Homo-oligomer: A and B are copies of this chain.
Amino acid sequence: MRVLGVDPGLTRCGIGVVEGVAGRPLTMLGVGVVRTPVDADLSHRLLAVEAGIEQWLDEHRPECVAVERVFSQHNVRTVMGTAQASAVAMLCAARRGLPVALHTPSEVKAAVTGSGRADKAQVGAMVTRLLRLSAPPKPADAADALALAVCHIWRAPAQNRLQQAAARLRAGAPTPPKGRTA
């Protein structure tokens, strides 16, 4: 599975592409940041984010896009820009028919470090180790995007089972016998 992770932001939108399956060593295919000028018009910044993400999608052809789920507990101004950048990322993926998965920051931290409250340095260190890199990717947004992609690859099998069960429930079909594993 090839996943493009997006740590959404207007000033710096982190992008990381990871390939692999759960339980096997993963491979980093690319990492970087889409930047937009802080003094530009908001609509032009969104356009620049779109162009940047489109370029990454064209180049790496992922099967799935994982985006950080945005909460509005944080700084009000920042969070609106983050929500808007995440909308652009989701839109670019949906337009290509790619599935979009959202993971919360604590799900991502818990997946790669074992703790939902790990700090940036810990996430960077684990991403470096898991993807066998020579140094932690900079800036932190780039490392976070890789962590998101890793998280998605590891969580996807469980998420798929949940989604299939929910779809069966909605369709009124019987659930599979207990104890069955995919």
Tell me the chain A residues, 75-125 only, with Cβ under 8 Å from chain B.
Answer: 76, 79-80, 83-88, 90-91, 93-95, 100, 102
Chain B residues lying within 8 Å of A100, measured Cβ to Cβ, are 41-43
CA distance A44 to B90 in the complex (A): 8
Count identical subunits in the complex: 2
Q: Tell me which of B42, B79, B90 contacts A42 (CB under 8 A).
A: B90
A79 to chain B, nearest CB (A): 6
Residue of B whose beta carbon sits closest to that of A42: B90
The answer to whether A70 has its CB under 8 Å from any CB of chain B is: yes
Q: Is there an interface contact between A46 and B87, defined as CB atoms closer than 8 Å? A: yes
CA distance A100 to B40 in the complex (A): 12
A side interface size, CB within 8 A? 27
Q: Is there an interface contact between A43 and B91, defined as CB atoms closer than 8 Å? A: yes
Question: 26 A-B pairs, CB-CB below 8 angstroms?
Answer: A41-B94, A41-B100, A42-B90, A42-B102, A43-B90, A43-B91, A43-B93, A43-B100, A44-B94, A46-B87, A46-B90, A46-B91, A46-B94, A47-B91, A50-B95, A70-B80, A71-B76, A72-B79, A72-B80, A73-B76, A80-B83, A83-B84, A84-B84, A84-B87, A87-B88, A91-B91
Mask for A51-79, Cβ within 8 A of B = 1, else 0? Answer: 00000000000000000001111001001
A2 to chain B, nearest CB (A): 18
Q: Is there an interface contact between B41 and A91, defined as CB atoms closer than 8 Å? A: no
A39 to chain B, nearest CB (A): 9
A105 to chain B, nearest CB (A): 15
Q: Among the interface residues A46, A50, A70, which one has the most CB atoms of the partner chain B within 10 A?
A: A46
Chain B residues lying within 8 Å of A43, measured Cβ to Cβ, are 90-91, 93-94, 100
Chain B residues lying within 8 Å of A80, measured Cβ to Cβ, are 70, 72, 83
